Chain A
Amino acid sequence: MIQTLEPILREHPFFRGMEDQHIRLIAGCAKNVRFGAGEVIFREGDPADHFYLIREGLVSVQFVIPHDGLTTVLTVGGGEVLGWSWLFPPYRWHFDARAQQDTHALAFDGKCLRAKCDEDHDLGYDIYKRFIQIINDRLEATRLQLLDVYGTHA
C-alpha cells in the first residue's frame, strides 16, 4: 500500500531529484488525503503535526485581519507545499488553511519525518534544503506583496 505512494512522491516537483533510498524512507510517513471545497484543513494554533504536498486543487492560507475579517493572503495549488510549522517548535500552525476547491494531497506525519531526519542526517539535510528553498521563495513573494506595488502608479 505504502509502496504505491513512491511514484507519486517522485513525480511531485517538491521531491524532484531526491534519491530513491530517501523516497523509500519518507514514503512510510505519507498518506493520501482529500479535502472537499470549503473544508478546513487546519486552524491557527492547532498542533502542526503534518505538512501537505498538494497534488491537485487549491488551498487558501487565511488570517483574521481586524476590520477586514477573514482574509486570504496566499493560495497554494497543485505541485506546491503547504506548511512548515511541523519543522520548528512549538509545532503549531500560524494561520488557517482551507480547501478552495476539491483538493488531493499527500499528508506527511511531521513526527515520523522528524524522527527519520534525526536518524539519517543525509535525508534531513536534503529535506531541510528543500524547505529552505520554499521558505526563501515565499519570503521573497511576501516582500513583494508587502511593497503593495499596485498601490503606487503602475
Chain B
Amino acid sequence: MDLKELYQEIILDHGKNPRNLRKTENFNKDAKGHNPLCGDNVHIYLKLNENKKVEDISFEGHGCAISMASASIMTDLVKGKEETEVKEIVNDFLDMIKEKEELQNKILNEDEKTKLMCLSGVKQYPMRVKCATLSWHTLTSAIDDFQKIVNTEN
C-alpha cells in the first residue's frame, strides 16, 4: 500500500480546487447523493441539450479529498458527451473501481483515462471506495431521473 498513490498531486489539486463546483443555471436533471457513514453530500446538476448531449454539469457538496476530486474529474470528463456515452463511462469507471484493471471504453482519450485512473488508488482502501463512487452513482440517478436520494449504503 502506498499513500502516495492515493493522494497524488492531481487528486490533491482537484480536491482542493474542485472544477465545476457550482450550480448550473437552467439545469434539467439533478440528483442528490449522501454517504451516511461519513456525512459526505453531493448534489449533481445536469443540463442536457435537445440532442441529449451534456451541455453543462456541475456539483455542490462537501467531502474528503477523494470524493471532491472524483466529482471534479468526473464532471470535467463527461462535459460535451452524449447521454449514452456518459452512461458507458460511468459503468466503466465503476467496474474499474470494483474489479477491472483498466478502463475499457473507447470514448475517453488516453489523457483522460490517465486522469481517471488516478482514482484507482482507492481500491486498496475498501472503506474509501464509497468516497470515490458517490458522485458517479449520483450522476446515474440524475440521468435516470430517480427522485430518490442516492445512499451509498444501499
| Pair from one complex | no
Q: Which B residues are closer than 8 A to A by beta carbons?
A: none
Q: Which A residues are closer than 8 A to B by beta carbons?
A: none
